[in-house]
């Protein structure tokens, strides 16, 4: 029998960047145009089998609206992995992502592993240069992916890269 590990992962980012959509794509390989904005937070459980272990992921999808900001620590507390998302068509959402990164590095689990995700790459509009986001990620020692929850591009890769970074102990 393979060893089993349990991990808590949190998704953070400004409202409407596509956090719920990224999780729905990863979890069920689906996309929906009429998702409600998340209230508070919600979570899914997902098991992943690798060749040498079984991973049970508890993934928290948080609400991006500013009125819920004070709740965020409840959801990132104990999380060993964080997926921080912005919307590539909105520079403001990239700035917000950087603030989430600072907050979780300061107040989250020691050594929390972070993956930065620039979502909505299916759209033509691009306010955040890929090179700028990549440089930021490199300087801060984190992986960076550009994704589309709509087409699925990059989504599995981003989540699986995060899972791979989690320390097995």
**Residues that bind ligand GTP in the complex, under the rule CB under 6 A:** 13, 15-21, 33, 35, 37-38, 63-65, 119-120, 122-123, 148-150
Q: Which is nearer to ligand GTP, 16 or 54 (CB)?
A: 16
Neighbour count for residue 141 (Cβ, 10 Å):
9
Q: Which is nearer to ligand GTP, 55 or 114 (CB)?
A: 114
Residues 38, 45, 109, 153, Cα dihedral to 10° = -70
Shortest distance, CB of residue 2 to ligand GTP, whole angstroms?
A: 33
Shortest distance, CB of residue 13 to ligand GTP, whole angstroms?
A: 6
Q: Which is nearer to ligand GTP, 5 or 58 (CB)?
A: 58
Q: Which is nearer to ligand GTP, 55 or 155 (CB)?
A: 155
Q: Please name every residue paired with 115 in a beta bridge, in sequence order, or none if there are none.
A: 83, 143
């Amino acid at each position: 029998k393979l060893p089993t590990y349990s991990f808590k992962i949190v998704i953070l980012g400004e409202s409407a960047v596509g956090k719920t959509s990224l999780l729905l794509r990863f979890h069920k390989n689906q996309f929906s145009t009429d998702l409600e904005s998340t209230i508070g937070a919600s979570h899914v459980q997902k098991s992943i089998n690798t060749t040498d272990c079984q991973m049970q992921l508890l993934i928290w999808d948080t609400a991006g609206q500013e009125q819920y900001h004070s709740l965020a620590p409840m959801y990132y507390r104990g999380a060993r992995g964080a997926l921080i998302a912005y919307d590539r068509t909105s520079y403001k959402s990239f700035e917000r992502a950087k603030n989430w990164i600072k907050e979780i590095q300061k107040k989250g689990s020691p050594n929390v592993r972070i993956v930065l995700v620039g979502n909505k790459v299916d759209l033509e509009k691009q306010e955040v240069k890929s090179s700028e986001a990549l440089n930021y990620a490199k300087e801060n020692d984190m992986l960076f992916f550009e994704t589309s929850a709509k087409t699925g591009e990059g989504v599995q890769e981003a989540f699986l890269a995060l899972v791979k970074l989690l320390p097995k102990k």
